[in-house]
Amino acid sequence: PPGGLLYPFGPAAGDKATPHEDDGMSPEIQLWQPFSFYRRFHHSLYVNNNGVVSFGTGVPEFTPEPFPLPGHRPFVAPYWADVDTTVGGDVFYRQSRKPELLARLARDLAPAVSPSDPAPKPTWAFVATWYRVSFFGAASNKVNTFQAVLATDGATSFVMLNYGDIQWTTGLANQGNAYTGLGGTPAQAGFNSGDDMNYYNIPGSRSPAVLHISRRSNVGIPGRWIFRVD
């Protein structure tokens, strides 16, 4: 897509950042607009360093698990793995009602709806970006860049996952190799609504194939995955 796959991020885009710490997270973020996630409305969320946007509670866990998860834990996982930003990288986030961002989202979300459904017209968005993040125990300069975008008009909700350069899958505590960032228990990607019925594991999750997530898509654009989740 013009301008690249990822939406603008970083301080220049008005982002805040999570603390540089292992297994860290943002404070609880009160949403300007409720986010409908499989018939449940959420009013706040957390951005977790370990590649997860979660509702209700933070997710310090660094070992990825397949969905559905026990315990009714709703979250979106662009790349759930053992990130360590004390080694390198930043985790940025913001919510936005900027018209130019919402207009781009409306265009980009269109392939995710059937022709018989109304075109997406989001009125609010949340953008979380993991930029050049390293992994726990890293003895190399391998880093990952990926993004989660939540968008809603108050009723219809979407999750977009964008993948830039993905160079590692596993931290040292999950039996990964400190030099390659591979092996052990690889990253999990997808979403878990918390109702035990609605969830999605992106193909390749928790396998070596997740390293190539940026080459695949469910909307015909390599590195982009879109789900309607209301």
pLDDT in tens, 141-156: 999 999 999 999 999 9
Calculate mean pLDDT across residues 170-182.
97
Calculate mean pLDDT across residues 173-188.
97
Tell me the two tokens of residue 77: 């996982």
Share of the chain above pLDDT 90, in %: 94
Calculate mean pLDDT across residues 199-206.
97
Q: Using H for helix, E for strand and C for coil, what is the string for the chain?
A: CCCCCCCCCCHHHCCEECCCCECCECCCEEEEEEEEECCEEEEEEEEECCCEEECCCCCCCCCCCCCCCCCCCCEEEEEECCEECCCCCEEEEEEECCHHHHHHHHHHHHHHCCCCCCCCCCCEEEEEEEEEECECCCCCCCCEEEEEEEEECCCCEEEEEEEEEECCCCCHHHCCCCCCCCCCCCCEEEEECCCCCCEEECCCCCCHHHHHHHHCCCCCCCCEEEEECC
Q: What's the Cα-to-Cα distance from 212 to each of 64, 109, 126, 217, 223, rounded to whole Å?
A: 17, 23, 25, 11, 9
Tell me the two tokens of residue 15: 């982002």
> Does residue 202 register a pLDDT over 80?
yes
Q: What is the pTM of this model?
A: 0.97
> Does residue 3 register a pLDDT over 70?
no
Residue 4, pLDDT score: 82
Give per-residue pLDDT as tens, 59-103: 999 999 999 998 889 999 999 999 999 999 999 999 999 999 999
CA–CA separation, 149 and 159 (whole Å): 6
What mean pLDDT, rounded, does the chain reach?
96
> Does residue 2 register a pLDDT over 80?
no
Share of the chain above pLDDT 70, in %: 99
Give per-residue pLDDT as tens, 109-126: 999 998 888 899 999 999
